[in-house]
Amino acid sequence: MCVLSPFCWLYHYCPFQTHAPVKGHDPAQGYGSTSTGSQSPRSECMPLSPRMRVGSVKESSEFSDSSGPSMIEMKRAQWKDGLMQKRSLSVPNVDSMDHRVTLLKGSLEFTMKYDKNERKLIVNILKVTEMILSDTAAVISPYVRVRFYRVPYQFFSLSKDHVINNLHIEIRTKMKKHNDNPTFNELFVIPIDKDDLKLYTVKLQLCDLDKYSRHIVLGEATFTLKKLNLAENEDAECSENLQPPTDEDIGDVSIGLNYLPTAEKLYLTIVKIRGLRPMNKQDNTTDAYARVALMFDGRHLKKSKTIIKKGDLNPEFDETFAFDVPSQKLGSVYFRVSLLHAGKTKEEHRLLGRVYIGPNLDADSHAHWMEMIQLPRKQVTAWHKIQG
């Protein structure tokens, strides 16, 4: 009588025999798996949601590409049919780089009047006329920024050029959203002694706030108050043709970038700044510090700041900030670095300029970002010109 014994000569022909598992055919284990020996079929694994949190700031200079316990779950989330999909960093296309709108033609109308009794200059920004942009389909949100540069008394001058290296006063109008024929009609009162009028150079700038929240100068006009020959209680009606903006030499900042693809951490280091303008009139120094903001679609995700370096026009910081940025978001986030002077009170803090670093901005910024992606786990440092 057969008892399904494997030693029976009819065993191999019996349809009721039990099938033993075949050795050597266990499902292949994936990278990061904690299982050993036999395991459940791949089809029964429930994928977890991948981490998509962006912008967590940590004050740290530890460039460790260690992911911690949560990385095991993140690796499991990328399984599909038992095979791990190959991850690649999100690299922007050169064609996606930002192309700024430029002003081809335009005039700014305004009035100025000096009140001798009050010792005040009254400025009325009226409107911009005959504006023509390089991109006729562009949508801008313009405003006007007026800067007054004061020069010291001089017995004689060897140059007739405008002196614009000593910013004294800055005013700006409200923004006119989605308007290419803006009318402002905004009045400003500025205290200036009559004898000092001839010492001021005025720069009028038509600016735009672009989709990256950058303040872009579309056009500008520069003149001296002396040429207006302001008379008491008489309005000087003016119309200045706007010209392409000129770069101001207000300093440079050395910035380091480093990305750790395994830990998905993006590091930014403020190394040092050179060539700042003196803001402390007593000793011709500046009390500088930097604010770092991780940006996405014009919005702050997270921000932090350095310490204040007092009395130094070329301060060294070497401060590093860490941000959690998934690799697939590297093509869409960017940094805004603001350089400021710390006054005695919060109201006296002054913005010196900004630097924007990201994959879709200007050529230098794009090149720095791409080098960071191509050299993971290595800090890539570059100088960036501070924009006013």
Q: How far apart are the first and last CA of the chain?
A: 99
More confident of the two residues 74 and 386: 386
- 312 is a domain residue: yes
- Average pLDDT over all residues of the chain: 78
Residue-level pLDDT at 249 = 85
Confidence category of residue 2, pLDDT binned at 50, 70, 90: low
- 6 is a domain residue: no
Residue-level pLDDT at 380 = 97
- 136 is a domain residue: yes
Q: What are phi and psi of 266, to 5 degrees?
A: -110, 125
Confidence category of residue 63, pLDDT binned at 50, 70, 90: low
Q: Can you tell me the mean pLDDT for 168-190?
A: 92
Residue type, 346: K
Same domain? For 227 and 268 the reply is no
Same domain? For 120 and 194 the reply is yes
More confident of the two residues 134 and 164: 134
Same domain? For 291 and 188 the reply is no
- Residue 77's DSSP bridge partners are none
Asked if pLDDT for residue 187 goes beyond 60, the answer is yes
Of the three residues 202, 220, 241, the one that is the final residue of a domain is 241
Q: What is the DSSP string of 35-78?
A: --SS---GGG--PPPPP-----EE----------THHHHHHHTT
CB 313 within 8 A of CB 276: yes
Q: pTM of the predicted model, to two decimals?
A: 0.63
CA distance 310 to 46: 56
Of the three residues 191, 210, 241, the one that is the final residue of a domain is 241
Of the three residues 210, 241, 272, the one that is the final residue of a domain is 241
- 54 is a domain residue: no
Cα Rg for the chain, rounded, in angstroms? 32
**C-alpha to C-alpha distances, 106 to 171, 174, 261, 358, nearest whole angstrom:** 20, 19, 48, 31
Confidence category of residue 70, pLDDT binned at 50, 70, 90: very low
Residue indicated by tokens 């200007």: 362
Residue-level pLDDT at 317 = 97
CA distance 241 to 110: 12
Q: Can you tell me the mean pLDDT for 50-66?
A: 46
Residue-level pLDDT at 69 = 43
- 68 is a domain residue: no
CA distance 323 to 336: 13
More confident of the two residues 380 and 32: 380
Burial bucket for residue 62 (CB in 10 Å: 0-12, 13-18, 19+): exposed
Q: Summarize pLDDT for 299-347 with one digit per residue, the tens.
A: 999 999 999 999 999 999 999 999 999 999 999 999 999 999 998 888 8
Same domain? For 196 and 324 the reply is no
Q: Closest Cα to residue 169, out of 137, 121, 109?
A: 121
- 344 is a domain residue: yes
Q: Can you tell me the mean pLDDT for 87-112?
A: 71
Confidence category of residue 286, pLDDT binned at 50, 70, 90: very high
**C-alpha to C-alpha distances, 52 to 262, 293, 302, 324, 335, nearest whole angstrom:** 14, 19, 15, 9, 18
What is the domain-level CATH number for residue 211? Answer: 2.60.40.150
- 138 is a domain residue: yes
Domain that holds residue 378: 249-385
Residue-level pLDDT at 154 = 47
CA distance 108 to 42: 69
Q: Closest Cα to residue 97, out of 377, 364, 360, 374?
A: 360
Residue-level pLDDT at 306 = 98
Same domain? For 262 and 233 the reply is no
Asked if pLDDT for residue 234 goes beyond 80, the answer is no
Same domain? For 274 and 204 the reply is no
Same domain? For 214 and 118 the reply is yes
- From start to end of the chain, where are the E strands? 57-58, 79-80, 83-84, 103-115, 120-133, 142-150, 167-172, 183-191, 200-209, 215-224, 236-241, 252-260, 265-274, 288-296, 299-305, 316-324, 333-341, 350-357, 380-385
CA distance 169 to 145: 11
Same domain? For 228 and 303 the reply is no
Q: Summarize pLDDT for 20-55 with one digit per residue, the tens.
A: 544 444 444 433 333 334 343 343 334 433 434 444
